[in-house]
Amino acid sequence: MPLATLRDPGRSETLVRIAFITNLFPPIQTGSSYWTRDAATALASRGHQVIVITCTPASKNEQVDLIGAVRVYRLPTTFHLPKLNAFLNFDQFYLMASPRNSRRLREILRDERIEVIHQVGHLLDSAPLSARAHRATAIPAVCSIHTRIGHPTNRFYDLLLRTVDRVILGPLVMRKFDRLIALDEVLARHSKRVYSVDDIECVPVCIDEAILHRAAADPAVASPVRVVSVGHVTDMRDRSTLLLAIAELKKRGLPVRLDIVGKVLTDVTPRLIDELDLRDTVALLGELPRDELFRLLSESSLEVHWIDIQGIGSAAIEAMALGLPVAAWADERIYGDVPLKHMENIVLIDPNDHDALVRTLEVLVRDPDLRQRVGSNARELVRRYLTWSSVAGRLESVYAAAVSGAS
């Protein structure tokens, strides 16, 4: 039964017990990790009882801790994937599937009297683990889709991963969940096609509104113009097209520098920096602590959230929340009714159009007032539409639909 009924119209009328299950959770620094933490925290603040079940990279023993009101169960890691080109050489993929963890997962769900399972992501082994727990316990379950499965540069790996996704994960895992959630309309369309599912709820990527309490950046004053690009440097995000554009701006004599934040997991990027003679213009800063990242953003002029798949990640929205103009590969309807407007509150670019990219960046570099205006409008857009206080209700609606469909 639901926990209680609330009178506050700003919150869900019915409180439920929610279990987030994921391989990726802080201290691992990825967008999905922070999304899970912030979603769990936001729902707990709205009165729901929320737990997170993940794995621990540091121990073979189960650990339990608290993040605010959220209890976090860290099950023993069964295997640490080495750097593999098939997985873009990311070195923090920890697996958690085992008979022991499967039994323990069901025990936790029972002891916590969980009413809704929320599987975060479907790339790693927690997705089939959640699907099995869903079948074994009959607890309603949803899965949020955070990325497309594939490989950007290796045709063999791309075909293999897409085949596994369509032929194995689709029928055996994804179609077993009561509801699917996509973080933007591009992922929703892709998932409908791959999994042959008609109804997928789009819940936009959003952030903790506490970031809006930080002082806004002043993107108009930096000289040289400081472009920052946040995200691990992989074959999918090697920044090659951005580096080529920066090299062109440098040739034109424009005062610009580029800081790239994230683990460097491909040799393409440093090699291209050398080939383009950009060592005095581009810095690879590696993975930064959150506070240091926010400080860097607050001192920058523009964020180019570069990924060769359409979308706007949480790091880009954090930059927007700090008042930076953000350039991303997207269209104005990627978040449905969220009113994104090109050159008003976001800069929409296409990595396949080099000339247009260079022209757009040149306009932004030359026009500090434009940077200031787009950044200010971006901050207001996030404040109104892209924080958990605005978006959490959409998750609550998905949970309600899953519960009602199972009853």
Cα separation, 347 vs 341, in Å, equals 8
Could you tell me the pLDDT band of residue 13, with boundaries at 50, 70 and 90? low
User: CA-to-CA distance for 239 and 242, rounded, in angstroms?
Assistant: 5
Residue 139, classed as helix, strand or coil, is coil
Residue with tokens 């029972």: 110
Indicate the pLDDT class of residue 307, thresholds 50, 70 and 90: low
Whether pLDDT at 7 is above 50: no
The amino acid at 194? V
Domains and CATH numbers, the chain: 17-206+389-406 (3.40.50.2000), 209-385 (3.40.50.2000)
> How many CB atoms are located within 10 Å of the residue 144 CB?
26
pLDDT at 199: 82
DSSP per position, 329-372: S--TTTTTTS---BTTTBEE--TT-HHHHHHHHHHHHH-HHHHH
pLDDT in tens, 366-377: 999 999 999 999
Question: What is the C-alpha to C-alpha distance for residues 273 and 279, in angstroms, rounded to an integer?
Answer: 6
Longest CA span, the chain: 66
305: confidence class by pLDDT, cuts 50, 70, 90: confident
Q: What is the mean pLDDT of the chain?
A: 89
Please state the φ and ψ torsions of residue 380, each to the nearest 5 degrees. Answer: -70, -40
* Residue 257 scores a pLDDT above 70: yes
Measured at the alpha carbon of residue 190, what is the angle toward residues 188 and 195, in degrees to the nearest 5?
A: 95
Q: What's the whole-number mean pLDDT along residues 323-338?
A: 94
The pLDDT score that the predictor gives to residue 88 is 62
Is 56 or 163 the better-scoring residue by pLDDT? 163
Task: For residue 51, list its beta bridge partners.
Answer: 19, 71
14 SS3 class? strand
pLDDT digits (tens, 9 = 90+) for 80-130: 667 766 566 666 678 898 999 999 999 999 999 999 999 999 888 899 999
Decide if 140 contacts 402 (C-beta within 8 A): yes
Distance between CA atoms of 269 and 183, rounded to whole angstroms? 28
The pLDDT score that the predictor gives to residue 87 is 65
What pLDDT is attached to residue 366? 95
> Of 392, 29, 375, 380, nearest to 225 (Cα)?
375
- The model carries a pTM of 0.84
pLDDT category at 195 given cuts 50, 70, 90 is: very high
Residue 63 is classified by DSSP as E
